[in-house]
Chain A
């Protein structure tokens, strides 16, 4: 909300610099900022009066204006069409800073000779003063402008912009902000004087009840409806000061009637609506729910189709306004209007919010109603507006007001004790201090029969006070949050039971980073287009997906069912500027729908390896990446997590059918490792092989070893033997390994060579193993080792047809 400081000054004395006021408001909950200062550069500009106008001797379109400045006279050359003798104007002396009407730049006024006549000064337009873009003529000041006074004193102003939180609709008004300023600076408040006797004060005026009847048939949505009636008004432009304040508040001036309703809304925070009385059929106002399919052309000329849960203001025959949201064109105040029904009502905030949102009609009125305005606000605002309207548009005010108030609730006082304040704030404030803070905001504090408590009633404009904690916040913010001390929690630390998966995630991330992987985080919303790229076939995948009902874009329409799609897209994007080795991973959630329940959100880690291998060094080391590089990462990771895994041929459609393995842990297959299918890579426009691993961490969790057990360090030396075998090419290393490992004394088996080609018969391959023999009980002799080794070779020969080589 934007507020003019001058306007604010009408209700509260501003005793501090503007920036300090803004600071105090900000600290107390209303973020405020001085956004504009009017007249900041108005040195050397004073109020003057034109005393004579003479023709320019050398130019037809220019005239010479003689201006009385109080202390003397100046004659200047002026080309404005609206120069009138007797008008008060803003006069700039030489040296003044003015905005050039054409270039828009600030320039210093100099003495000039214009067509032979010296002109030392200037009569200013609004644009030259920086007030508006108006540059057609000079700005004419009201007659009461004090002659000779600096213009900054008379017209200078500053605009405060305030971020009003949703709980404080009362601060969506100048008076509301003035109340805050008064409480925060210790000043008193002066409210506009409303002559209540104006409404129906004159005996001759007719009673309002005889001229309009109001009925509320939906009291749940309208707790109070007040109306006044003014006849014989003259619709015209509203005065300049009012228009300016409306503009500063972001509202467009319309005419004196509508402007008064908006002005009082900005002033009091209570939205009002003016109907053309003569267009109200049946002279009846009915506040009711719309009937289904009922429609109304709103003030903006758009036909609005209403639903049964929207509230309308209707006359005897039809809706004339969408309650609290926008008036209807059929009852709009026009130039011909002579009689006004002025509405000031209290509507249900949720209903107004729903209607405004559904019809997409956010308005100043809507914004205030939906935050909840107290029903008690209706009457003061109505009286003020009625009086202003009568002043500005003339006419006769009918006697009395209509006040239908089915939703009256008595506000119960709240008991507030010093103990409760201390329990929440941690500071022992005296009752006097508490009462003084609350009183400054207009709260009524009555004795509660104890020296340490009071009964507090919130003022009628506050709709956000329901509990003792609400009062405690008021106390705290008036005293100042910065005045409260700071302490550390003194209670014992609660028992900790963190979810094991949290620790696992952290460990996996750190390990993969230690292996040289770069972590990425990608959006968890994705598109069908990207997901379909994961299929090597032309037919799209049909995964069960979780779709959004209102996605922002098609790129973010589905919750991701895997991490690999985004990772491949990430790789492809980085390949545009990088061609070395890229190894990256993401650890995050994937989402699987469940019937009538929240989806299964599973923590998954996915990694990609792509490129030539280790970074090329000047020493020429270069190892290329392959399936086994990816498998090595998985094995290393799982081993460090204490998980025993084996690998079996995998069935993942997105991977190369023969270069992939399912990770088998405890009979389950929580992951996969393999080379991406070339067609999938082609879909992502990635060149070169890419290797992937994926592990479901939730499935992995039960198999991670919580406790590692100590193994004694061997006391007796080991014996190492290398054996090379020639074996059928179709036999897997694992088969050999299982046999060797089955023998006693075998401590470790490492395969260090796989070869086929020259010197090995066709259909065969050579495998070389390094076997470490060790006994926990004694030093092994050659004989012992030879014996086991022979047994191993025998069994390999018998079971797998292996022949020792060389």
Chain B
């Protein structure tokens, strides 16, 4: 059995010495080391030999296999080093092949980004109808008919009348309408973040739109306090606007919260010195918030003696306007691709 092995070894090494390209190397590899090679067949045939012979032959066969493999590796290296490199010149300054690149709308990006900040704090995204009953948009939020706070929210009404000639269907004027629905439909503990379109009957200009986006939010549980509200919103401001921004909380009025809060950040343009963007105040209002009014909770079936809650709401378009320095809100919905592709 040893004899054919030695013969195979001699032939194989001799052949290998004459090879100088990788294609022949591969043929050689298949012939001498492949699954159907002589060596493999010898190794397979070992089982039929007497024990002593099997041991000797097996050992030798494996030695030869190792030797051939080493020889192959060495040859591969030699062949590759010897192979001539084709000196093809390319102009590496030519542009790469363009891939089609799509962009999400800056408002979508903003909604996602703000949503993700709150999701990471345990809030859950909830949506609601844009065409809404007057009740959820106003009454449920402590804004009955003829409430003066309604004056600042000119309403678009749907051409629909009940049998009693009432017109109770409107386009929601504030994202807080979703909050009213959440309070009514979910049981504490609650943490929700509520993005969506809102509508106002207003003329459009560089800073006003009749259709825009709000993000509202709500937390209801036992033991939620105003310092939690400050902490949560401060964390949002820090993460969205950056570590270096100053944040200010001041008293403000919204019918559905008490105490009411307005959060502002120091102006991104003048850093608080006062400029045109911030109306010389140094501060830019970012959102309204407060401890949810006990009547609003009670109306939605949550006992304000047991649970406390905070709520907040913000205009969305303002956020990318501040961050990117966009000076005309109409650009978002003008759908000019030269604008949209920048984000």
Contacts and interface: CB of A to CB of B under 8 A. Distances in A.
Interface stretch (B2-10, B61-69, B258-266): B258-266
B228 A489 contact: yes
A484 B100 contact: no
Interface string B219-250: 10111111110111011000000000000111
A577 interface: yes
Contacts of B51: none
B126 interface: yes
A684 interface: no
Nearest to B258: A469
A473 to B, nearest CB: 4
Interface in A399-454: 422-427
A29 B340 CA distance: 38
Contact of B232 (A426, A488, A523, A618): A488
B138 to A, nearest CB: 13
A353 B336 CA distance: 42
A111 interface: no
B100 A473 contact: no
Nearest to A551: B156
A487 B336 contact: no
Interface in A100-153: none
Nearest to B253: A165
A284 interface: no
Nearest to A30: B251
Contacts of B130: 524, 589, 591, 601
A573 B251 contact: no
Contact of B131 (A29, A492, A546, A574): A546
B169 interface: yes
A154 interface: no
Give the size category of B's interface with A. Answer: 35 or more
B157 A548 contact: yes
Interface stretch (B23-31, B35-43, B70-78, B105-113): B105-113
A523 B212 CA distance: 9
A27 B250 contact: yes
A318 interface: no
A556 interface: yes
Contact of B231 (A351, A487, A513, A621): A487
Contact of B227 (A425, A521, A581, A596): A425
A614 B100 contact: yes
A26 B250 contact: yes
Given A488-B235, A523-B333, A548-B158, A426 B197 contact: no
Contacts of B291: 424, 469
Nearest to B209: A523
A722 interface: no
B338 interface: yes
Given A487-B231, A598-B131, A353 B225 contact: no
B228 A487 contact: yes
Interface in B265-315: 279-281, 291, 293-294, 308
Interface in B175-200: 188-191, 197, 199
A323 to B, nearest CB: 15
A532 B132 CA distance: 27
Contacts of A26: 250
B97 A617 contact: yes
Nearest to A351: B146
Contact of B253 (A166, A427, A484, A513): A166
B127 interface: yes
Interface in B75-117: 94-95, 97-105, 107-108, 112
Contacts of B199: 525
A482 B249 contact: yes
Given A518-B340, A618-B94, A166 B148 contact: yes
A486 B167 contact: no
Contacts, number: 256
Contact of B158 (A29, A486, A547): A547
A266 to B, nearest CB: 19
B102 A470 contact: no
Given A481-B249, A598-B133, A601-B129, A574 B225 contact: no
Contacts of A371: 148
Contacts of A343: none
Contact of A519 (B157, B190, B340): B340
Most buried by A among B107, B251, B341: B251
B104 A29 contact: no
Given A516-B99, A546-B158, A491 B333 contact: no
A521 B234 CA distance: 30
Nearest to B99: A516
Contacts of A349: 146, 148
Contacts of A614: 98, 100
Interface string A554-596: 0010010000000000100110011001111000010100001
A516 B188 CA distance: 42
A28 interface: yes
A454 to B, nearest CB: 18
Contacts of B45: none
Contacts of B158: 546-549, 559
Given A370-B148, A522-B335, A598-B169, A499 B253 contact: no
A520 B122 contact: no
A619 B210 contact: no
Contact of B95 (A482, A591, A618): A618
Contacts of B341: 518
**Most chain B CB within a 10 A radius of its CB, from A424, A502, A551:** A424
A596 B166 CA distance: 12
Contacts of B210: 525, 552, 556
B165 interface: no
B202 interface: yes
A573 B337 CA distance: 10
A550 interface: yes
A525 B104 CA distance: 22
Contact of A486 (B100, B234, B280, B340): B234
A574 B336 CA distance: 6
A632 interface: no
Nearest to B204: A552
B338 to A, nearest CB: 7
Interface in A757-781: none
B47 interface: no
B218 to A, nearest CB: 11
Contact of A497 (B124, B203, B258, B332): B124
A167 interface: yes
B335 A573 contact: yes
A29 B121 CA distance: 29
A524 B197 contact: yes
A493 B252 CA distance: 29
A41 interface: no
B125 A482 contact: no
Interface stretch (A45-53, A330-338, A504-512, A703-711): A504-512
A523 to B, nearest CB: 5
A584 B228 CA distance: 42
Contact of A424 (B147, B159, B188, B226): B226
B201 A552 contact: yes
A33 B281 contact: yes
B260 A473 contact: yes
Given A488-B235, A516-B102, A166 B211 contact: no
B335 A570 contact: yes
Given A486-B234, A491-B189, 4 more contacts: A496-B124, A519-B103, A520-B105, A522-B335
Shortest Cβ-Cβ A-B pairs, 5 listed: A516-B100, A426-B225, A493-B122, A29-B251, A473-B259
Interface of A: 26-29, 33, 165-168, 349-351, 353-354, 357, 370-371, 422-427, 467, 469-470, 472-473, 476-477, 481-482, 484-494, 496-499, 502, 506, 509-510, 512-525, 546-552, 556, 559, 570, 573-574, 577-578, 581-584, 589, 591, 596, 598-599, 601, 614-615, 617-619, 621
9 contacts: A423-B225, A488-B231, A490-B223, A519-B108, A521-B335, A546-B159, A583-B100, A596-B162, A614-B100
